[in-house]
Amino acid sequence: MLEMAQAYGVFANNGYKINLHPILKILDNHGKVLDEYNPPSSPIFGRKVLPEGVAFIISDILADNNARLAEFGPNSSLKIANQVVSAKTGTTNDFRDNWTFGYTPDFVVASWVGNNDNTPMSNIASGITGAAPIWHDIMTYLLKDKAPHPISRPPSIIQKRVCSVSGLIPPPDGTSNSCETRFEYFIKGTEPYKVDPGLQNVRIDKTTQDLASPNQTDNVENKDEIVVTDATGQNYCVTCPHPNPTPNP
C-alpha cells in the first residue's frame, strides 16, 4: 500500500516522486529526540519521473465523474461533494485484493480490503463495493470545509475541440458530416490535425453486419458506417451491431 500511495503521489505532485516517511520522530523514555524527519523547505522536491503534462492528463481523466457513469453511476463513493478529486479502483481477478486510490494536490489516500489469510472474498464484486466507501469517508473528512484545489494545468497542455467519437477535428460547420464535439486536453505537439471523415463507405460482412476481414471477398456488401482507427491501426465500426455480454462477477 505504501508503494502504491507513493506511485499515485507522482500524479498529485505533477510528476515528482516524493518518498514517504511513515516515521516522523523517535523519542526515548525521557523525551529526547533520537531521530526526526525534516522535510525540505522547498514546495517542490523529490525526483521528477514523469512529464508534468502526462501527470495532469491522467489526473484529469481520473477526476472525470462522467467518464465512469456507465460503470459506477453518477453518485458513487468515488465522488466527493463539491471537490475535485482524482480516483481509481482496482480488484484482482481472484478477488483477493480490493483497492481504491485517490488524491488532490494536498492529500493522497489509499485503502485496501481483503482477507488476512489471502483467501478470496465472497461478497466483493468491484472496487466500488469494497475499498471505495472507506476511501470516501477518509477523503471527505480530510477535505471538509476546504476550498476545492484542482491540479493546475501546466503550460505544456493545450485544449482543443474534437469529435467525441473519433477524437479528430470536426468538419467545417454546416457540412453533412458534422459530429458531436467535446473539449479535450493534449500535450503540445500531440493534438490531432486530421478532419473527421464522418460516414465512410466500407465493406461489411453480411452475416455479422460488422467490418469484413481485409481478405474477405464473398458474403460482403458496401455500407455507409462510422469507423474509427486506433493508435495501432485497427479499425472499429462504431455504428455496426456488437455483442453486449452481461458481466458475471
Euclidean distance between CA atoms 104 and 48, whole angstroms: 18
User: Mean pLDDT in the chain?
Assistant: 90
Euclidean distance between CA atoms 207 and 222, whole angstroms: 13
What mean pLDDT is predicted for residues 193-203?
A: 92
pLDDT at 41: 77
User: Which set of grid coordinates corresponds to residue 207?
Assistant: 452475416
What mean pLDDT is predicted for residues 122-134?
A: 81
Euclidean distance between CA atoms 91 and 239, whole angstroms: 32
pLDDT at 249: 52
pLDDT higher than 70, residue 191:
yes
Euclidean distance between CA atoms 209 and 243, whole angstroms: 11
Q: What domains are there in the chain, each with its CATH number?
A: 2-143 (3.40.710.10), 156-187 (no CATH), 198-249 (no CATH)
Task: Give pLDDT tens digits for 204-233.
Answer: 999 999 999 989 989 999 999 999 988 888
SS3 50: coil
Euclidean distance between CA atoms 162 and 54, whole angstroms: 19
pLDDT higher than 90, residue 93:
no
